[in-house]
Amino acid sequence: MQQPRKEYEDIPGTTVFDADQCRKGYGINMFCMSLLKAPNREAFKKDEAGYLKQYNLTPGQTEAVLKRDWNGMLREGGNIYFTAKLAATDGLSFQQVAAMMTGSTQQEYADMMLKGGRSPNGNRSKSEWANKNG
């Protein structure tokens, strides 16, 4: 098993938005920021794939946006605060998107957060989990 390049890459379920992710996601983040303007939102809704072409996205980034793969957008360099602009364009709240990202319903997600969030037990290290579960 290859060791992570950065210590924080060992955190399960987490994509840290660092300088590398920032460079990787420049196009996807600029696309998301464009959605702050109503004419851009309208143009995107009319032809999503066509609109994305002006942002020089990778195929993976394009696919993640078109499929609304919220976790995929983060893995592809998207910043959660920027991708929230796309969610808002779709009429989704941040809570709805967070629930989708965790594989839960909006109510399950809200209940979990009201109870203090996800337990850190078993969620601290990918390598620790792999060693325990072989």
User: Residue 41 is part of a domain; what is its CATH number?
Assistant: 1.10.700.10
Q: What is the pLDDT of residues 59-72, one digit of tens each?
A: 999 999 999 999 99
For 19-79, give the DSSP string.
HHHHHHTHHHHHHHHHTTSHHHHHHHHH-HHHHHGGGT--HHHHHHHHHT-HHHHHHTT--
Q: What is the pLDDT of residues 24-37, one digit of tens each?
A: 999 999 999 999 99
Say if 114 falls within a structural domain. Answer: yes
Q: What is the pLDDT of residues 73-121, one digit of tens each?
A: 999 999 999 999 999 999 999 999 999 988 899 999 888 889 988 777 7
Say if 1 falls within a structural domain. Answer: no
Domain count, the chain: 1
Of 31, 95, 34, 97, the residue nearest 70 (C-alpha): 97
